[in-house]
Amino acid sequence: MSSYHLDHLQYLETEAIHIMREVAAEFERPVLLFSGGKDSICLLRLAEKAFRPSDLPMPFLNVETGHEFPELIEFRDRRAKELGAKLIVRTVDQAIADGTAMPAPGEISRNKLQIPVLLGAIEEFRFDCAIGGARRDEEKARAKERFFSFRDGFGQWDPKNQRPEIWNLYNARVNPGENMRVFPLSNWTEMDVWEYIKQEKLEVPNIYFSHTRECFRRGGQWLPVPTPHADASRPDPYEGARPRPNEKRATMVVRVRTIADMISTGMIESPATSVDDIIGEVSAARVTERGTRADDKASEAAMEDRKKAGYF
């Protein structure tokens, strides 16, 4: 093999860096969606590779459901500080208090409620572009999405009317009020992400590694038992997401494979304590990553419906 040849990770990296720089050059007010999860951790390294030695030319944004793993929040805040980036946090709780997000009666998951919060933040800061860590291999509707995914004035994705995306020439033009979602990791697989984390020696939140945790069984998954509700003067944010008497509880050695929030992330039993262990596990895995996400199981078109409404 000639020395003037890129291996697959180098190829995916140069493609993603090119996209990051296109965003910085073409948009006036871009933002990077950083949750602290493994995909957005890769995005941060790619941003460093694209823009150093300059400062990262965009702030970070995270939309909290209010059900986050505390480990993730700690990690998110620390990484933003280490990179010298401005971190903007907007919450579903605040949006509910303001009346801009309305929970459906009986629905515990706040996944869909992130949509108005995200759109609200885009409007508040007049962001014209949001970089996200979504990958096409995650889900069937994502598999059809462009790198530069256009959103109309309502934040909606129209899958039947996407702009053709040819060579590496990305049409980044938007009119006022419209915005673009850009996904530099579109072509990455779960395995590529972990191999990149290994290659770049990237730190990940410790909940990706095996630890002891109290879980309960619901909907065919092991969900984490939320911390007890201490402040009786306020409603319990985990109302409905706590184990019922008839649900089996167990203290187990588990880790997360993909992170949503505490009430929609299934824990997997795993002894993996290192990135190498995880790579071994992913290569032997017999279910997809999203198979542990309760939010995608609602229907075959669950993701498609959320994306059309303006989801990440």
Partner 1 sequence: MPANHPIELLRFNTCGSVDDGKSTLIGRLLYDSKNLMEDQLEALERSADITGGGQINLANLTDGLRAEREQGITIDVAYRYFATPRRKFIVADTPGHVQYTRNMVTGASTANLSIVLVDARQGVIEQSRRHTYIASLLRIPHLVIAVNKMDLVDWSHERFLEIRDDFGSFLPRLDMKDVKFIPMSALNGDNVVDPSKHTPWYVGPTLLGHLEDVHIASDWNLSGFRLPVQWVNRPNTPRDPALHDFRGLSGQIAGGIVKVGQKVMVLPSGLKSTVKEIWTYSGKLQEAFCPQSVTLVLADDLDISRGDMVVGLDSMPGVGTDLHARVAWMHPRPLQRGKKYLLKHTTQTVQSVVTALENRIDIHTYEPQPEPAELAMNDIGEIRLKVAKPLVFDGYATNRLTGSFVLIEPGTNATVAAGMLQPPLEAVKPEYNDFAI
**Coil vs helix vs strand at 300:** coil
Determine which residue in the list 81, 173, 248, 249 makes contact with partner 1, applying CB under 8 A. 173
Residues numbered 134 to 163 that lie near partner 1 (CB under 8 A) are 136-137, 139-141, 143-144, 159-160, 162-163
Min dist. Cβ of residue 116 to partner 1 (A): 23
Give the distance from CA 74 to its chain's centroid. Answer: 16
Residue 165 touches partner 1, criterion: CB under 8 A: yes
Q: What is the DSSP letter of 243?
A: P
CA distances in angstroms from 149 to 130, 183, 305, listed in the order given: 10, 8, 16
Determine which residue in the list 94, 100, 189, 206 makes contact with partner 1, applying CB under 8 A. 189
Min dist. Cβ of residue 144 to partner 1 (A): 5
Residue (123 or 300) nearer to partner 1, CB: 300
CA distances in angstroms from 72 to 35, 88, 207, 259, listed in the order given: 8, 15, 8, 9
Q: How far apart are CA 312 and CA 182, in angstroms?
A: 10
Beta bridge partners of 265: 293
Residues numbered 60 to 99 that lie near partner 1 (CB under 8 A) are none
Reduced DSSP (H G I as helix, E B as strand, rest coil) percent helix, strand, coil of the chain, to 5 = 35, 15, 50
- Spatial strand order in the sheet of 129-131: 87-91, 60-64, 30-33, 129-131, 179-182, 148-151
Min dist. Cβ of residue 25 to partner 1 (A): 5
Span from 9-17, 122-130, 208-216, 266-274 in contact with partner 1 (CB under 8 A): 9-17
Residue 234 touches partner 1, criterion: CB under 8 A: no
Residues numbered 236 to 275 that lie near partner 1 (CB under 8 A) are none
**Binding residue count for partner 1, defined by CB under 8 A:** 61
For helices 190-199 and 8-26, what crossing angle results, to 10°?
A: 90
Residue ranges in contact with partner 1 by CB under 8 A: 1-2, 4-8, 10-15, 17-18, 21-22, 24-25, 48-55, 136-137, 139-141, 143-144, 159-160, 162-169, 171, 173-175, 186-187, 189, 191-192, 285-288, 291, 300-301, 304
